[in-house]
Amino acid sequence: MRLVLASTSPRRLDLLKRIGAEPARVAAPDVDENVRAGETPRAYVLRVAIDKAHAVPRAADEIVLAGDTTIAVGRRILAKPEDEADLRRMLALLSGRRHHCLSAVCLIGADGKARTRISDTVVAFKRLSQAEIDWYVACGEGMGKAGGYAIQGKAEAFVRYLAGSHSGVVGLPVFETRALLESAGYSLG
């Protein structure tokens, strides 16, 4: 059985390799990641992960793995910032607050059945000064990241509390991913 990663994220690929899963190929899924009216953060992240998995063609001897991660402050979904002003708004919102990082994983097995898991991690940022927000925006690390930050980088210095999956916040919860791969009969190295 060959594994297909439906993501071009280098972080997801690295996290897969940490658990002994080596994708035979990597494919970029083309899906609509816009939040739908009334969609909760949990429903949103799960839908996008499932859509990504289904968007990649699968041969009979392949299984497809996809994931999606989002940041939620209450019912508000913080997607990837559109520009520096949006990033500043997100960081100000996260400053001194707890938020949820939801990371969904979808695996389409050889039987064509979709299996899913969601990791919900609570993260609390310290209260950020304007100088810290300016510094983080200037480094450019938060652009292209859900919620406007990368916990595996400079933003880790802002985290005063984390309960859940660190790898889920990075982009792929390895515990849940490993369980899905094993349930599909994929042999981990």
DSSP-based three-state secondary structure for 186: coil
Which of these is catalytic: 68, 83, 111, 120? Answer: 68
The CA distances from residue 124 to 9, 73, 98, in Å, are 25, 11, 4
Distance between CA atoms of 63 and 30, rounded to whole angstroms?
18
Q: Is 32 tagged catalytic?
A: no
CB 168 within 8 A of CB 162: no
Distance between CA atoms of 145 and 173, rounded to whole angstroms?
16
Distance between CA atoms of 139 and 3, rounded to whole angstroms?
35
List helix spans (H) across 20-173.
41-55, 84-94, 130-139, 166-170
Distance between CA atoms of 35 and 41, rounded to whole angstroms?
9
Residues known to be catalytic: 68
